[in-house]
Structure formats: C-alpha cells, structure tokens
Amino acid sequence: MSRYRYEGIDRAGLLRRGRVEAETRAKALALAGAGGLRVTSLEALGTRESIWTRDLFGSGKVAEADVLTVVKDLSTLIAADLTIDRTLRLVIRQAPKSMVPILEAVLSDVLAGLPLSRALAKHPKAFPRDVVEVAAAGELTGTLGRVLADLATSMSRAQEIRRTIVSALIYPSLLLILALGIVGLVVGVLVPALEPLFDQPGVEPPAVIALTRSVEAVLGAYWPVILAALALALATLAAAWRRPRFAEARERLLLRLPLLGPVLVGIEAGRICRTLGTLLGASVPVPAALAATRLVPRRLVFRRAVDEAARRVPEGARLASALSGLERLSPLTLRMIATGEEVNRVPDMLMRAAELHEEEVRLRLDRLFTAMTPIITAGLGLVIGGLILSIMSAILSVNDLALR
C-alpha cells in the first residue's frame, strides 16, 4: 500500500490538503476526489512497510536490484519503438512494489511534458545522477533504448562483483566470529577462573593473565578519559569524513593498498570505459559523453580526472591523451583507445578495454579470496593455540610447585 499527499480545491473554493493510502496512483486520485474535491497535486510519499522490512537507518534508498529490473524493462520496450508513456505504463504493471509509486510519478511528469531523464532526476534515491546523465545523453542522440540496455549491463556486472565479494566474505567472517567467541570465552571465563591459582607468592602468571590484569587496571582507573577520547575521535572522524580533502586522501590511500588497490582501480576503469564506449557508440559527441561519464566513478580521484579530460578535449586534445590524466589507467587501455582513434573504432576499443578490466577484477578477487581463507585460518589457529598453550603451561607449572 502506497501513501500519497494531495492538494485540491473543494466546492467552496477553499484549498484542502491531506493524505491517502492506495495501491495505485489512479486509486489514490479517486479517493482524494471522492468528496467532490478537484485535485490539483498528488505526490507519492512511498510505501508503508512493516517494522520487519523497514530500513532501520532511514535512508529510504531503493534496492539496486529493483532499479536494475526497471532499467532493463525500460531499455527493452523503448528499443521496441514504444512511446515513453506506453513503456512506463507497461513497466509499472510488473515493476517491484518499491518502484511503483516512483514510476507513477515519473509517468505523470512525462505526460506533463518532461523528458524521461528529467523525470528520473526527481527521484535521486532510485535513479542516481550518473543514470540520469547517461539517459539524457541517450535522449540527445535518439538512442535511449541502446544506452539504457548498455547501462543495465554495466549495473548488472557491478552487482555481480558485489555478490562475488559478499559470497567470498561469508566463510572468513564466520571464522572471525567463531574466533572472537573463543577468545572472549577464554579471556572472560577461563582466565578469571584461573587467576586465584597465580596469587601465590613465587608463582609467575602467564602472559594472558598478566595482560588481562593490566587492561582491567587501566580501564578501571582511566575509563572516563578513554570514553571521552573515543567520543572526540569519532566526532572528529565524522566531521572530516565527507570533506573533499579528507575523502581524496582516504581514496588515494585505498588505491595504494597492495591487494585492494588494483581491484578498486579495475572496477572504476571498467565503469568509465564501458560508459564512454556505450555513449560514443550511440553517436554522443565526445565532450557530452565525458560530461555524462564524470558521475559514473565512485572515487573522487577518478571523477576529477574525467573532469580534466572533459576540459581538454574541446581544446583539441585527443581522447587517449586527455584520459592519460587517469594515472592508474593501464597503459594497455590508453594504447587501445589511441589505436581506436586511428582506425575510427573508439567505442569498440573502449568496450573491449572494459571487458579486460572486468576480467582482471574477477581474477584478482578469485586469487585474493582463495588466499584469504587459509591465511585467516592459520592466523586464528596461532592466536587461539597460543592463548591455550600459555594457560596450560602456567597450570602445569603450578602443579609442579604443589608437588615439590
């Protein structure tokens, strides 16, 4: 059941406002006007969810899988030469529930004369700016169906990478949780139970017990200071987190990490190449294609590099030369783009480069997660084994003293 806010003029000429709940926009309009009210505005507020399915953090963002389904359906129907309004009506019939109110609002805006891209731009929680810019570029050249189809492919591959990462992290996460539980059991239950054994004079406590006593002493004496320091650190981090300089420094640090950095670079490079190839293949001019692509990267470093390329191309620079500002773009990719410019096949070369980057990301992730599990298992075994060995050796030493 979706919620709507309405405004209208009653029979006495007075302005009335209110809210209704209905399954569709048409039913909401009928309910709002049931008392003779002439409805002048009807705005979708979203879907009322139960507490079990509600977003606890209140972001209200639509699931990316639902957005992908809608983009696929739009591309298929638009490519079949259906009008935009007819396409939206058909998509609404089979769209996920979370998308129905949004698509009905989009349909209303399209019927009012707005282009599809501007109608989508009114719903940033469902359609990010990069989706809107790509759709606008497709409208500019009359290739909206093709552009949306390629956009759906790019979104699908990004989701596939995320699913791969999540699936691969399940087993290591379970190992870490199990290890933390064991360590907590040892430190919180076993160590306090054994402490009285080492209160005897001349008995040296094991490192685990000594460390536990030291931590307890520090926390007991300085816990207000520690809490205040943690709160201050968190507040400072939260304030600096979204500042451009801090964000850029954080991203550069991530990109320099030995294992994670190349994966992030490959993901961003693949997105840039695929989007550029899609737009140029749809006959979008290079400056307009770069302008639409600048919002595709998730990392500020790459966005600034694309901005620089968009500035240099109108000044006469070739695309490969303009993109050379992307320091972490592989030389092979730049050579492929330069070759494409020479033989007038830039879109094909960009799509091929995108495929190479995506394949490289998959291979790197496979190797990373294949190596991660045994490394984590061995590390946890050493930690837990070391704890137990330390305690058992101390207990045996106490027994030796008692026998003497």
Domain extents in the chain? 2-47, 64-156, 260-361
- Report the DSSP beta bridge partners of residue 129: none
Question: Quick one: average pLDDT of 229-235?
Answer: 93
Which range among 187-201, 221-235, 291-305, 323-337 has the greatest average pLDDT? 221-235
Instruction: Please give the Cα distance from 290 to 311 (Å, whole number).
Output: 9
The domain covering 260-361 belongs, at the CATH homologous superfamily level, to: Type II secretion system (T2SS), domain F (1.20.81.30)
pTM passes above 0.75: no
Which range among 232-236, 292-296, 308-312 has the greatest average pLDDT? 232-236
Task: Report which of 301, 323, 300, 299 is spatially closest to residue 311, judged by C-alpha positions.
Answer: 323
Task: Decide if pLDDT at 49 tops 50.
Answer: no
pLDDT of residue 1: 59
- Report the DSSP beta bridge partners of residue 8: 16, 39
Question: Quick one: average pLDDT of 35-43?
Answer: 77
Structure-token match 């282009």, residue found: 115
Evaluate whether 398 touches 197 at the Cβ level (below 8 Å).
Answer: yes
- Report the DSSP beta bridge partners of residue 3: 21, 46
Mean predicted lDDT score pLDDT of the chain: 82
Task: Report which of 300, 303, 306 is spatially closest to residue 253, judged by C-alpha positions.
Answer: 300
Structure-token match 């008692």, residue found: 402
Enter the tokens of residue 139: 């409208």
Burial of 328 (C-beta count, 10 Å sphere; 0-12/13-18/19+): middle
Amino acid identity at 157: R
Backbone angles phi, psi at 3, to 5 degrees: -105, 145
Task: Report which of 109, 105, 103 is spatially closest to residue 88, judged by C-alpha positions.
Answer: 103
Task: Decide if pLDDT at 96 tops 90.
Answer: no
- Report the DSSP beta bridge partners of residue 229: none
Say how many C-beta atoms besides its own lie within 10 A of residue 132's C-beta.
21
Across 130-139, 381-390, 393-402, least confident range: 393-402
Cα 278 off chain centre by: 22
Task: Report which of 221, 268, 34 is spatially closest to residue 18, judged by C-alpha positions.
Answer: 34
First vs last Cα of the chain: how many Å apart? 79
Helices within 242-345 (DSSP H only): 244-256, 260-281, 286-293, 300-312, 319-322, 331-343
Q: What angle do CA 333, 334, 335 make, to 5 degrees?
A: 90
Instruction: Specify the 3-state DSSP secondary structure of 5.
Output: strand
Exposed e or buried b for every residue in 298-313, given b needs 16+ CB within 10 A?
A: ebebbbbbbebbbebb
Backbone angles phi, psi at 15, to 5 degrees: -80, 130
Task: Report which of 4, 59, 15, 61 is spatially closest to residue 38, judged by C-alpha positions.
Answer: 15
Which top CATH class is 64-156? mainly alpha
Task: Report which of 310, 309, 308, 360 is spatially closest to residue 332, judged by C-alpha positions.
Answer: 360
Instruction: Specify the 3-state DSSP secondary structure of 45.
Output: strand
Confidence of residue 328 (pLDDT cuts 50, 70, 90): low
pLDDT > 90 in the chain, percent: 9
Instruction: Please give the Cα distance from 349 to 222 (Å, whole number).
Output: 62
Q: What angle do CA 189, 193, 198 make, to 5 degrees?
A: 135
In this chain, the answer to whether the domains covering 64-156 and 260-361 adopt an identical fold is yes
